[in-house]
């Protein structure tokens, strides 16, 4: 089944297409502003989605446990992506967050075990709690210099992550942010970091650490 949502529809309502297991092609036109909670949850045959520049918000669990392989999110400049919006998408490999997205609130891509390629836009101001928790295929991440705060458990259990550079814009790395990243060997921490939370790098394999800024 193909679904084409025109721009004249500004809101896709709560649970609108939950468990539509025959849905395999979804087109969301520019003009759509909100995708509410659970809207496309458990759409197991849906393999790709691109969200438009008009987007303001994606609700909690909106695409959770779907069959997505790729997700591209544009946004209107202040867009927010809700809790668990794409969590548990076991086949999701590639995510592109455009410059129109400002917030990944929490657990957005948690437990996406196949996620290996992530591009983050330069409007994001923080990486929320548990955003990439247990994304075990993620081997690298470029954190843009718009990021100020890396929240708790943001990359917890990313066991394939080997190196991380924290840009100079970041002031806080919260508790357990990179804990249980068992292959993490190299970190570079920018010169604006004022706080590293407890257990932030617990159970890693760090052999090289460069702190460019002040004494903590």
Q: Is 176 a domain residue?
A: no
Q: Is 199 a domain residue?
A: no
Radius of gyration in angstroms for the set of CA atoms belonging to the chain, rounded to a whole number: 17
Domain interval for residue 3: 1-124
Q: Digits of tens for pLDDT over the chain (216 positions)?
A: 899 999 999 999 999 999 998 999 999 999 999 999 999 999 999 999 999 999 999 999 999 999 999 999 999 999 999 999 999 999 999 999 999 999 999 999 999 999 999 999 999 999 999 999 999 999 999 999 999 999 999 999 999 999 999 999 999 999 999 999 999 999 999 999 999 999 999 999 999 999 986 544
Which CATH number goes with the domain that contains 91?
3.80.10
**Long-range contact list for 46-55, CB < 8 A, 24+ apart?**
47/91, 50/74, 51/75, 52/7, 52/28, 53/98, 53/100, 54/7, 54/30, 55/79, 55/100
Q: Is 59 a domain residue?
A: yes
Q: Is 166 a domain residue?
A: no
- Is the pTM here over 0.75, yes or no? yes
Q: Is 33 a domain residue?
A: yes
Q: Is 185 a domain residue?
A: no
């Amino acid at each position: 089944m193909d679904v084409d949502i025109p721009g004249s529809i500004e809101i896709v309502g709560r649970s609108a297409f939950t468990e539509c297991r025959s849905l395999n092609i979804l087109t969301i036109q520019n003009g759509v502003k909100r995708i509410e909670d659970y809207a496309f949850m458990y759409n197991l045959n849906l393999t790709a989605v691109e969200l438009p520049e008009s987007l303001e918000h994606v609700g909690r669990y909106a695409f959770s446990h779907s069959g997505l392989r790729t997700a591209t999110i544009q946004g209107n400049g202040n867009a927010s992506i809700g809790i668990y919006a794409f969590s548990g998408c076991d086949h999701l490999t590639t995510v592109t967050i455009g410059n129109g997205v400002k917030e990944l609130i929490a657990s957005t891509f948690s437990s996406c075990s196949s996620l290996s390629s992530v591009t983050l836009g330069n409007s994001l101001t923080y990486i929320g709690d548990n955003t990439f928790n247990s994304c075990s295929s993620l081997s690298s991440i470029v954190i843009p210099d718009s990021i100020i705060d890396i929240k708790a458990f943001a990359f917890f259990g990313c066991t394939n992550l080997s190196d991380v550079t924290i840009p100079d814009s970041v002031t806080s790395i919260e508790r357990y942010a990179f804990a249980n990243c068992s292959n993490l060997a190299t970190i570079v921490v920018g010169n604006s970091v004022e706080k590293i939370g407890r257990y932030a790098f617990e159970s890693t394999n760090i052999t090289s650490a460069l702190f460019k800024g002040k004494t903590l």
